[in-house]
Amino acid sequence: MEAQKTQYTRAQLALRNGQDREEIWVAYKGIIYELTSSRLWHNGKHYQHWAGQDLTDELADAPHTELVFKRFKAIGTLVVSHQ
């Protein structure tokens, strides 16, 4: 049985943008991925996409599929508040 992943808010995710903190994280379909070691996300930017965000809606514009996330470690889940 897999251990439950830590939950993070959008504000916590936003801090992991490669500039406010060294960590580079993005969310996709509610899962947060650690991209810090990726040379393609240098300084928290990948083409017109920025780290620290939920990229679910932006993937449609990418030249790759969601399988790209299999290369990276899933470190948590994104908590979505319904305010």
Please give the pLDDT value at position 1: 44
Could you report how far apart the first and last alpha carbons of the chain are, in Å?
33
Q: What pTM does this model have?
A: 0.85
Q: What is the pLDDT of residues 52-83, one digit of tens each?
A: 999 999 887 777 888 889 999 999 999 977 55
Q: How confident is the model at residue 2 (pLDDT cuts 50, 70, 90)?
A: low
The count of other CB atoms within 10 Å of the CB of residue 77 is 16
Q: What is the pLDDT of residues 10-56, one digit of tens each?
A: 999 999 999 988 999 999 999 999 999 999 898 898 888 899 999 99
Domain ranges of the chain: 6-78
Please report, as a single letter, which amino acid is at residue 53: Q
Architecture of domain 6-78: Roll (3.10)
